[in-house]
Amino acid sequence: MALAAGLGVIGPGIGIGIIGGGAMQAIGRNPEASGKIVSNMILAIVFTEALGILALVVSFIIKFV
């Protein structure tokens, strides 16, 4: 269970870091578009975090079933 949860959450953690870094670079290059960039960044983070939550649910299923 711990291996499934740990490996399943590492990927989304790295992905969220890459998304945040890319958004900061984009805002630095074009500050006028920061509203659209931030809203798209939050949407991408939500989808990425859903994978982490799915991995956590699967690890609980492994433990209890």
Mean pLDDT of residues grouped by 10 in the chain (65 residues)?
A: 90 95 97 96 96 94 91
Q: Which domain, by its residues, includes 31?
A: 2-64
What is the amino acid identity at position 39? S
Instruction: Measure the N-to-C terminal CA separation of the chain; round to a whole number of Å.
Output: 11
Number of structural domains in the chain: 1
- pLDDT, position 47: 95
Interatomic CA distance for residues 31 and 46, integer angstroms: 23
Query: In this predicted structure, what is the pLDDT of residue 29?
Result: 97
pTM: 0.84
57 contacts: CB under 8 Å, gap ≥ 6 = none
Give the CATH number of the domain where residue 54 resides: 1.20.20.10
